[in-house]
Each structure stands twice: as C-alpha cells, then as structure tokens.
Structure 1
Amino acid sequence: MKKWSLLVLTLALTVLVAACGNNTNSDATSGQGANTDKANNGGNTAAATNLLESVKASGKLRVGTEGTYAPFTYHDKDGKLTGFDVEIAEEVAKRLGVEAEFIETPWDGIFAGLDAKRFDTVFNQVTIRDDRKEKYDFSDPYIVSRAVLIVNDDNEEIKAFADLKGKKAGQSLTSNLSDIARENGAEIEATEGFNQAIDLLLSKRIDATVNDGLSFFDLKKQRPDVKLKIVDELPDAAESAALFNKGNEELIEAVNQALADIKSDGKYLEISEKYFGEDVSK
C-alpha cells in the first residue's frame, strides 16, 4: 500500500509540474502573440495612408455624379459624359496630378454611394446645408444658383410657391428642391432627376417641379420652343460644392486649392461661360 501511495503521489506531482510548464509556455506564447499583434498594428498604423495619398497612389479621383442633369452632368449627342460639374471635377483632378474617374449614380443613391466609399467625392450640384454638414464635409463652393418653380405655359393656377399646396410636384426625393416643394404643401412625385421631371411636366402627369434655375435656362437654350415657364424664384441663392465623407481633411484642402487655382488662372471662367455665358461662382 505504501508503495502504491508513493507511486500515485509521484504521478500527481509529475502531472502538476507538466501543467505548470505548459501554462508558463502558453503565457509566454500569448505574450509573444500580443507583442506581435501590437507590432503589426503599429506597422499598419504607420503604413496607413490618408485618402489624398490613396488617390495619388491610384492615379484616380473617383467622382460620384448623376450623368442625367444638364448642363451640370449629362451625356452629349455622342454619348460622352460632360457638363459643368464634370469639367470642374476633371480640372480639379488634373491639378491633383490624377485622372477623374466618374461613377454615375442616380441622385437618390448618391449619398449612400459616398457612405459606402464607392467614390471619393461627389460633384453634382450638392447644395451646402446645415443638416448635411452634420454628416459630411464640403469643399469651398464652386457655383451659386437659385431654385425656381416651373409649370406648363397654360397653367394659370400656380403662380407662386405657396400655390403648390395640394398640387403634384416632380422631385428627386432627397434633394433640397424636394424639401422646398414639400414645405409648400406639394404632393411629391418621385423622379430620377431633372429630365424625368420635365418629361412628366410636359405630359401633364405632374403640375410643377421645383428645380435649378440654371438647368431651366439651359433647357430653354437647347429647346426654345418647350412649353414651360418659370412662375416664381427663391430670392436667396444656394451654394453648391464637392461632397466628402468626414475625416478627409487633406483631400478637401487639396481640392480647395485646386478650385482656387482654377478661378485665379481663368479656367473656371472659361468653363462657366461655356455652359452659362457668365460667371456662376457669384
């Protein structure tokens, strides 16, 4: 019995020593893993680049835009994407030393696209608003325009924004222009942009649209016989700018510098006069 007890005690001590040794090794290994992770994380942090550096490394500035909103962003008769915002974005990218890559997206999905980082910025007549500034950052403004109320030539009921109450207005749902129509009591008919709103208005499936005055003037230039008219205009002009996700100060600063350079060397005025016949930055 004594021999048996001694044998059991010996085995127990052996197991205990082995377990302690394993725990020590495990702790040491864990310590090494933690140190390695910290080193790797530190390395990743050091190697991480901001968005401006990523843009320059890729050689492309990814730009979200509609492609259906003349004269700001649209396709010409040959199918080429063009427009005031498109050319401004191209010039900005050029000053950054990269190429503009346009990713066409319907207006009502353009903010979600930026959220998902499908593009680096948006050039698409995005009005600077306080509610948007809570979530996004803007560049310096690069265009100023006014909201106008558009109806058919033979419409005598709607003469002011207040007359929209109970009327059907064709609007992009998430635009500030839609907010203006809604605030004046209009029933909103969702559209995918200016062109669709105009088509619905001409076919009298809607009563009016609140839209950008510069777009309407371009429409009249392209189609002088179009049977539409402006009956009211907001007195305060709205500023539009490039839109960014927050936390990209380096890229925004570079874009602002590029915009300033474009204005100072005359390129901005050249583009502005091409599309509007005047300086639309003021």
Structure 2
Amino acid sequence: MKRLFMLATMVVFSLVALAGCGGNQAAESGSSSGSGSGKIVVGLDDNYPPMGFKDENNEITGFDVDVAKEAAKRLGREVEFKAIDWDSKEAELKSKRVDVLWNGLDITEKRKENMAFSEPYMENRQIVFVRKDKADSIKSVEDLQGKVVGTQSGGTAEEYIDEHQSFKQGMKDVKKYTDYISAFMDLENGRLDAIVADEITGRYYMSKHPENLAAQEIVVGPISDFGIGFRKEDTELRAEVQKVMDEMKADGTLAKISEKWFGKDIMKK
C-alpha cells in the first residue's frame, strides 16, 4: 500500500509538472502573427525625428510611435519599440527580431519584393535643405552639380541618387550619414552645401533652427508614400493593424496625432 501511495503521488506530481510546462510553452509561443494575442515588436530608427526618436529623457517618442501605441491599444496588445540599424531593417524583419517596421518607411517596388505593406498613410517628398546664407546659390536640381551633398544611408534619397549615376557623378561628393541629425549639424557647420532629405524630417529639424536653415522647393525623385512593413507571411497581423488604422483615420485620431507633431493634418486622404 505504501508503494502504491508513493507511485500514485509521483504520477500526480508528474502530471502537474507536465501541465505547467505545457502552459509555459503555450505562453512562450504566443506570436504577433496570431490573431489578437502576443506582443508586437516595432523596429525603428530612434534618430528619425519627428517619426521616431529619443527625447530629452531618453524615451522613444514621435509621430509613428504615438500611432503604433494607439493601434496596439485598440488591438489589446503590448507594444515594444526596438531601435535597429535602419540600413539592415529588412534583415531584422526577416529574422523575426522585430515584427513590423514602422518609422517613416517608404513603400517602394524594391522593398515589396521582401515585405508586405499596409495601405499608405502619409505622402513623403525628398527635398533639398540648405543654409539660409547659401539659399540663393541652390534653387534647382541642376544647382546641386559640383556641390557636397549629404543624405541618410538606407533611405529613399540615397536609393534614388545611387540609381541615377549621372546625377550622382555631377556632384562634388555625396556623404552618407547614419542619421539626419548628424547631416544637418554638418550642414549648419559648413561641411555640406546641401542635404537631400525627407521633407517631414527636414522641416521638423528646421523648425528648431529657423535662423540657420532653409527648405528649397526642389523635389528630388518621385513622391513616395509611407507604409507599415510586415513579413509577407504575417497576413493576419497586417489585416489586424490595417483594420485599426482605418478606424483611426475614420474617427479623426490620425488627424489629431498629425496636428500634434506637424501643426496640421497631413495624413493621406
């Protein structure tokens, strides 16, 4: 009887342990690609104001951060923002170190080969920024010839410049930066003649330094759209996020967040 009691006790404990392990495995296997569960890890460049950047308290903030937080709230999910090397963003997404790319990401045909996108939510132009005291010397694309021009590595402007070699070779030099903040600092200090940058980023930075910088209405390359990037196989996650983005557009939430960061509603209509 004693042996039977001990055997029965061992069986009970074994079943409890197995149940616990199964529960832990189920919890650990929760994926953002499933419906309505799991944490969403957002990959972003944390030096890309006003879309996503670190504030004076070292907290990640920005327009896209506010939109992603509201979307995750409506989905009933936790959201984590993970700073990544933006030049390696597609590898970060493919390796599942992040679930989405959500940080002023331009929708391009080349990128569509490796990821799926949400519907466009904002237009973006690449325009030219100069120092105010040099504004009269650069009034057209042709005026960039013979100049030292800066842009961000991995960005749409860089892709356009690299794909148009005759345009690139006409410049004295093209300097590529890991972030636009460093590029604008070099522009202010006279180490660059001009910057080709996202209009949104440039105008936000310029608003902080209005006495030094000027935005020229010189569009370089085609006008693009911002979208949220997903792994191609994460169709459920894309559908869920798109649904709440549509709701936020319809009820005016996106417009309010836009007004907070840009002073007006610049969302794609």
Q: State the TM-score, normalizing by the size of structure 2.
A: 0.79
TM-superposition CA deviations, 1:106-164 (whole Å, max 9, x none):
32122221122110001111111111111111011121122111122232443222333
Cα displacement string for residues 24-48 of structure 1 (whole angstroms, at most 9, x for unaligned residues): xxxxxxxxxxxxxxxxxxxxxxxx9
1:226 maps to what in 2? 212
Q: Quote the residue 1:45 is aligned against.
A: none
CA contact (8 A) 2:116 2:231 kept: yes
Q: Check the 8 A contact 1:169/1:181 in 2, yes or no.
A: no
Aligned twin of 2:128: 149
Given that 1:114 and 1:245 are in contact with CA atoms closer than 8 Å, whether structure 2 keeps it comes out as yes
Deviates more, 1:257-266 or 1:199-208: 199-208
AA aligned to 2:95 is: A
Residues 231-270 of structure 1 deviation map (CA, whole Å, 9 limit, x = unaligned): 5135953210111121111111111101001111221111
CA 163–135 in structure 1, closer or farther in 2 if over 3 Å, else same: same
Q: Does 1:132 align with 2:115?
A: no
The alpha-carbon distance between structure 1 residues 121 and 234, as it changes in their structure 2 partners (threshold 3 A), is same
Please state if 1:164 is matched with 2:164: no
Give the root-mean-square deviation of aligned CA atoms. 2.1
User: Is residue 2:80 matched to residue 1:101?
Assistant: yes
Return the match for 1:53 from 34, 58, 72: 34
Q: Larger Cα Rg: Structure 1 or Structure 2?
A: 1
Amino acid corresponding to residue 187 of structure 2 in structure 1: L
**What CA distance in whole angstroms lies between the structure 1 residues aligned with 2:146 and 2:160?**
14
Residues in 1 aligned to 2:210 and 2:112: alpha-carbon distance in whole angstroms: 38
Aligned to 2:250: 264
- Among 187, 192, 195, which residue is 1:209 paired with? 195
What is the CA–CA distance in structure 2 between the aligned matches of 1:70 and 1:173, rounded to whole Å? 16
8 Å CA contact 1:161, 1:232 repeated in 2: yes
Show structure 2 runs of 5+ residues with no match. Answer: 1-28
CA deviation after TM superposition for structure 1 residue 69, in Å: 1.0
Is the contact between residue 171 and residue 209 of structure 1 (CA under 8 Å) also seen in structure 2? yes
SS in 2 for 1:52: coil
- Cα distance in 1 for partners of 2:146, 2:220 equals 20
User: Deviation of residue 50 (structure 1)?
Assistant: 6.7
Task: Find out whether 1:180 has 2:160 as its counterpart.
Answer: yes
Paired residues, what number? 233
| Partner Cα distance (2:34, 2:228) in 1 | 18
Structure 1: which amino acid aligns with 2:101? V
The separation in 1 between residues aligned to 2:58 and 2:154, in whole angstroms, is 27
- The correspondence for 1:115, drawn from 94, 97, 101, is 94
The 1:212/1:99 distance shift into structure 2, 3 A limit, reads: same
Find 1:280's aligned residue among 245, 250, 266: 266
Which amino acid is the alignment partner of residue 145 of structure 2?
Answer: K
Partner of 1:255: 241
* Counterpart mapping for 1:30-45 below 5 A: none
What SS does structure 2 have at the residue aligned with 1:53?
A: coil
Deviating more after overlay: 136-145 vs 219-228: 219-228
In structure 1, what is the equivalent of residue 51 of structure 2?
A: 72
Q: Is the 8 A contact 2:54 2:61 kept in 1?
A: yes
Q: Which moved more, 1:87-96 or 1:151-160?
A: 151-160
How far apart are residue 80 of structure 1 and its match?
1.8
Checking the alignment, whether the CA contact within 8 Å between 1:200 and 1:206 is kept in structure 2 is yes
Answer yes or no: is the 8 Å Cα contact 1:90–1:100 preserved in 2.
yes
Specify the code of the residue in structure 1 equivalent to 2:159. D
**TM score, norm. by length of structure 1:** 0.76
Shift in alpha-carbon separation, 1:173–1:108, aligned structure 2, 3 A: same
User: Runs ≥4 in structure 1, deviation > 4 angstroms?
Assistant: 48-51
Shift of the 194–78 alpha-carbon distance from structure 1 to 2, 3 Å rule, reads: same
